[in-house]
Structures are given as C-alpha cells and as structure tokens.
Amino acid sequence: MVYIFVLLALLSSTSDAAVNDFCVADLKGPDSPSGYQCKPPKSVTVDDFVFSGFVAGNTTNIFRAALTSAVVTDFPGVNGLGVSAARIDIEKGGSVPMHTHSGATELLIMVKGQITAGFMTPFAVYTKTLKPGDVMVFPQGQLHFQVNSGKRKATAFLAFSSANPGVQLLDLILFGNDLPSALIAETTFLEVGQVKKVKGRFGGRG
C-alpha cells in the first residue's frame, strides 16, 4: 500500500509547481535578470539536464583555438543555478586572447598539453604555466588570457559561476565594430594607425 501523505498534504492546496526543485529554462520565452522562465515540470526530461556536444571545436582560425560552450542556451537545465561550463582547444602557437566575463568568475581545469594563463592588476601580474593536474581561477571581471605554451594541442575545461557568463573578447569589443578609430585611439592611447590595422582583422569600420 502506498502512503505519500506528506507530499500529498503539501500538494493539497497547491499546484505542481510547489514541488519542483529546479527551473529548467523555457528558451522560447523571454529572459529576465534572474534567468529564463521555467518550463512546466511535466515537460522536463533528463535531456534538459544533459549537454552532449562538449567536444573539440574547429581551430582553423586566426587564434588557432576553439571554444565550445555548455551554458544555459546550450542546455536549459542550468537555468538559475549559477554554474555552466566550456571547453577550449588551442593548437600549438594559438591562444584565447584577452577577454572578460562581465558576470562570472572562470575556473580552468587543465586536461591536456600546456597553457600559460594569467590576469593582471596595475600592481601585479598573476601568470602561471599550467599542466594537467592544475586548476586556476580568474576572478570575476578580470581581463585574462590563455596561451598554448607547449609543443602540442592543449585542452582545458572551464567552469563559470553563472549559467550565462557571456564573453567580452577585447579585440572584438574594441576593433570589431564601427566605433571611430580616433575615439578608440583617444581612449586607449593606441595610435590611430594601429587601431585601423587591427580593425581590419576583426571586421571593424571607422
């Protein structure tokens, strides 16, 4: 005989919503400051909590690197839970260039190869050459980079303190749009010629 009184009691005057312990994103609905709206619990399946494309991306690009994300828009089960992941694959000689995540700390777990990574303050530089067995944290909002300093391809997994960490690649932010080169030069102390040159590589105009 089945007795599930407590739960039934709990449910007696409530909807199913009272007992859902997660909020799987309804990615078709609007986002909000706390994340996406929840899918109805009854339509949730285990596949909402699993992401199966966490594999190496294509590294035939200027950076000789690839980033594969596993964030809320990739698998909706992390919605509202304050964590997500990514993997980076960097060919010999490649790098993940200077970038920040506006709302998340990044934690890097070395898997293969060798990466030199770091972040900086005006007073100090925190860089380290990392090998498998190493973990490094890049505190929220700090500009940081990862360079393959080894002799073969390197792979690392990243964890973020947000379900939707975003990414601000410095080159794309500065040089990938049509902010006037003179204004960029004025506010970075780079020379206008240099700005225009890098803009050429990242698709910026002006």
How far, rounded to the nearest angstrom, does the alpha carbon of residue 99 sit from its chain's CA centroid? 11
Query: Does residue 43 touch its own copies according to CB under 8 A?
Result: no
DSSP 174: H
Is 66 strand, coil or helix?
Answer: strand
The smaller minimum CB distance to its own copies, of residues 97 and 150, is found at 97
The smaller minimum CB distance to its own copies, of residues 152 and 200, is found at 200
Given 92, 151, 196, 202, the residue binding its own copies (CB under 8 A): 202
Beta bridge partners of 156: 88, 110
Q: By rule CB under 8 A, what string of x and - marks binding of each residue 102-121 to its own copies?
A: xx-x-x-xxx----x-x-xx
Among residue numbers 119 through 148, which ones bind its own copies (CB under 8 A)? Answer: 120-128, 130, 133-143, 145, 147
Q: Which of 18, 118, 65 is nearest to 9 (CA)?
A: 18
Is 53 strand, coil or helix?
Answer: coil
Is 98 strand, coil or helix?
Answer: strand
Given 43, 91, 92, 98, the residue binding its own copies (CB under 8 A): 98
Among residue numbers 162 through 201, which ones bind its own copies (CB under 8 A)? Answer: 164, 166-179, 183, 186-191, 194, 197-198, 201
Smallest separation (angstroms) from its own copies to the CB of 193: 9
Smallest separation (angstroms) from its own copies to the CB of 67: 5
Longest dimension (CA), the chain: 81
Q: Contact, 156 vs 86, CB < 8 A? A: no
Smallest separation (angstroms) from its own copies to the CB of 197: 8
Query: Does residue 90 touch its own copies according to CB under 8 A?
Result: no
The CB-side HSE value for 159 (13 A sphere, CA atoms) comes to 11
Q: Contact, 67 vs 57, CB < 8 A? A: yes
Among residue numbers 56 through 75, which ones bind its own copies (CB under 8 A)? Answer: 57-58, 61-63, 65-75
